[in-house]
Structure 1
Amino acid sequence: MQNFNFYHVSLVQIAVVLVLVGLVLWLINTYIPMAGGIKSLLNIVVFVVILIWLLRIFGLIGNLPGVHIPPLN
């Protein structure tokens, strides 16, 4: 059995982080002019980072070698 590092994060904290990230991403997409390809790439990168963070919080994946995602304290 693998020994996963579980983070103790409340659902309220998760919701706040998701809302803040979504708001910042919306502000960037709306008010900063950039090419469509760069905007799409930015959205994909943010989505993947948030997805990995959520999977780690809920214990569905363990530590990824070589990737450091700091815990929210």
Structure 2
Amino acid sequence: MDLMPFLITLAIIGALLWVVNAYIPMDRKIKQILNIVMVVAVALWVCNLFGVFDFFQGFHIGK
């Protein structure tokens, strides 16, 4: 993945997380769990992009 699509994807994920945190009313604990899950998911995705993890190679979503 090139640098610009990577940065755009990170910006979109960050913007979506900000919108959820700012405008969707939910309990503080649920928001905290959502934030932790998103940060871990993005960290795993970035590590996979840079080749740190090889176990995602056989993992496919959809067809």
Q: Which range, TM-score by smaller chain?
A: 0.7 to 0.9
1:20 to 8, 12, 19: 12
Greater helix fraction, Structure 1 or Structure 2? 2
What pairs with 1:39-50 in structure 2 (closer than 5 Å)?
39-50=31-42
Identical positions, percent: 33
- 8 Å Cα contact 1:53/1:69 also seen in 2: no
Shift of the 56–19 alpha-carbon distance from structure 1 to 2, 3 Å rule, reads same
* Deviation (angstroms), 1:69: 6.0
Write the letter of the residue equivalent to 1:50: V
Q: Are 1:68 and 2:32 matched, yes or no?
A: no
With CA pairs under 8 Å and 6+ residues apart, which has the higher RCO, 1 or 2? 1
Structure 1 segments of 4 or more deviating over 3 A? Answer: 67-70
Q: How far apart are the structure 2 equivalents of 1:69 and 1:19? A: 24
Distance 1:33 1:17 in 2: 25
Query: Residue 33 of structure 1 corresponds to which residue in structure 2?
Result: 25
Gaps of 5+ in 2: none
| Structure 1 unmatched runs, 5+ | 1-8
